[in-house]
Structure 1
């Protein structure tokens, strides 16, 4: 089945003599002792001290593939509402939105794949069916001065769509509107959330919540194979952080936008994985120790057959998501 995806945006870059620090230099100025994860460097394609004008080109129909949200084979289709098969979470409802209700059929479409798992399973020898893949949205960061010049608000949708030459009735428009709406929606009680439209603003949010003595981690995969595989947790599971973490999830948008949230009931783990064919993944898992405020119909409860607030629930981070924690 074919769906429309975001138009490919070509950013025509112009060197600006009075431009602010590039995103990479800003990171280094704020966090000089914190390496930039590969997942972030992959989104820094525009070089130093640049401003850009936006030009739409190469609008193509692309087959919408299933995303590896949570490190597993879960279809989050970036197209029509209610379209698609398998585990269709729908536009604007990623599994990391803990207030959404899953459909009655979601957890039955692929019974061999578990999106969420228990914290008690994070030990050597546990086998998990996982599908580590990057989102097909390869949108990269804009420098902050450029991103800040572009509206990002539900009451400015008309202007936003016009800037990107997106038809208001199109699937691309629905995707962009849903991303904005999710960013503006109220979060869980006790959750501090923020949508970063630039790397600089993501750094600012993380440091404002955790301070500057922090590290950033992402899942790393040794090869480009994205097939569904059975992985085994190998020796070396490490508890990276207790409670105080900031997690940033990449959203569907023409340029890089990250939904970041900080809670005091989250843990982060380093989890080494290996498949039968020798493929290895340095995975980052996030575990939520208090799920009592989640929607009782969230997919996690359907898959694990547990009630809200009863057990810590975990998921792997896709490659292009980031977890921030204290050193």
Structure 2
């Protein structure tokens, strides 16, 4: 999916270049959240000019990288989980369970103690495509019922692999929420900020993403060092998961009760990770065949279920 002229790119240069001081996503962030640093998962997606300066016009590409979904399993090509494991109403296939049997894709809260050893591959789930300004994102169609218009606006062929990926993301964004959950697909950074502040009832927030010292590190065993587990915020968070799309789209959801942690990890090859962890203390509304229950051999609603966030996802919590 690499057209020579893209409607998105042209609109981006016109909208952002004409009114950068007013409309840039980063300016909106700093106006609403002046005390909250932008995490690297999001700063990598801010529009940049040809010199790499944030805040100028940028031609947004429309390529969707090969890492569609969550890449897990052995290093190398891995296994692509076509059903996002962070969508809790879906059942996992036997193949997905088998290929993740030795990985800490999900784990129990009791395992978050110094000395614990976990096999993890901290990989991005999508490519770092740029955010669009909200004015432009709102202008573009974003609905599975308007898929032909979506593909036309992005100059994507209707029978292409990229079209299928776009359609799957749109359907994910339209799935009904589970009990006690609020969800929103943010098609702009401004939209993500608004949903997170409204859901958490505050502008004094932390926005956290997993930081990996060697971004190309392979799947390996990590150990939690002494004093390596830090509790974050209260019992409510917003998690925003990157979705494969030609521009930055995040599936965000607010659930309660949850617990969030930042966990230090050291890998066998010397990779250091500051990993964001979300623990769900009420899983009673999840699909009983969800991959977490099958891997951990527990039942819905019985024990807290935790997972690391990939390096391109974000957790929001109150700064308490």
TM-score, normalization by structure 2: 0.87
Contact 2:132 2:247 in 1 (8 A): yes
Task: Kindly provide the CA deviation profile for residues 226-285 of structure 1, in whole angstroms up to 9, marking residues without a partner as x.
Answer: 311100011220110332111100101000000000011211101000012321000000
2:182 to 158, 178, 192: 192
* Structure 2 counterpart of 1:158: 148
1:118-267 maps to which residues of 2 (within 5 A)? 118-210=108-200, 211-235=202-226, 236-267=228-259
**Structure 1 residues 26 and 74 mapped into 2: Cα distance closer, same or farther (>3 Å)?**
farther
Structure 1: state its 5+ residue gaps: 1-5, 76-84
* Structure 2 counterpart of 1:78: none
Hey, what's the Cα distance between the residues in 2 that align with 1:186 and 1:179?
14
Task: Kindly provide the CA deviation profile for residues 110-154 of structure 1, in whole angstroms up to 9, marking residues without a partner as x.
Answer: 432231100110010000001112234221101111111101112
* Structure 1 counterpart of 2:51: none
Contact 2:258 2:278 in 1 (8 A): yes
**Structure 1 residues 18 and 269 mapped into 2: Cα distance closer, same or farther (>3 Å)?**
closer
Hey, what's the Cα distance between the residues in 1 that align with 2:132 and 2:42?
12
Task: Give the 3-state SS of the residue equivalent to 1:148 in structure 2.
Answer: helix
**Structure 1 residues 161 and 237 mapped into 2: Cα distance closer, same or farther (>3 Å)?**
same
The alignment status of 1:296 with 2:288, answered yes or no, reads yes
Deviation at 1:54, TM superposition (A): 6.9
Contact 2:61 2:246 in 1 (8 A): no
Task: Give the 3-state SS of the residue equivalent to 1:20 in structure 2.
Answer: helix
Contact 2:108 2:304 in 1 (8 A): yes
Hey, what's the Cα distance between the residues in 2 that align with 1:282 and 1:18?
33
Contact 1:16 1:49 in 2 (8 A): no
Hey, what's the Cα distance between the residues in 1 that align with 2:128 and 2:240?
16
Hey, what's the Cα distance between the residues in 2 that align with 1:31 and 1:269?
21
Instruction: Decide which moves more: 219-228 or 106-115.
Output: 106-115
* Structure 2 counterpart of 1:111: 101
1:313 to 295, 301, 305: 305
**Structure 1 residues 296 and 280 mapped into 2: Cα distance closer, same or farther (>3 Å)?**
same
RMSD over equivalenced CA pairs, Å = 2.4
1:23 to 10, 19, 25: 25
Hey, what's the Cα distance between the residues in 1 that align with 2:287 and 2:2?
33
Hey, what's the Cα distance between the residues in 2 that align with 1:41 and 1:111?
33
Task: Kindly provide the CA deviation profile for residues 165-195 of structure 1, in whole angstroms up to 9, marking residues without a partner as x.
Answer: 2222222111111111111110111100000
Hey, what's the Cα distance between the residues in 2 that align with 1:316 and 1:55?
29
* Structure 2 counterpart of 1:79: none
* Structure 2 counterpart of 1:33: 35
TM-score, normalization by structure 1: 0.86
Question: 4+ residue runs of structure 1 moved beyond 6 angstroms?
Answer: 52-56
* Structure 2 counterpart of 1:11: 9
Hey, what's the Cα distance between the residues in 1 that align with 2:208 and 2:250?
15
Q: How many corresponding residue pairs?
A: 303
1:95-110 maps to which residues of 2 (within 5 A)? 95-110=85-100
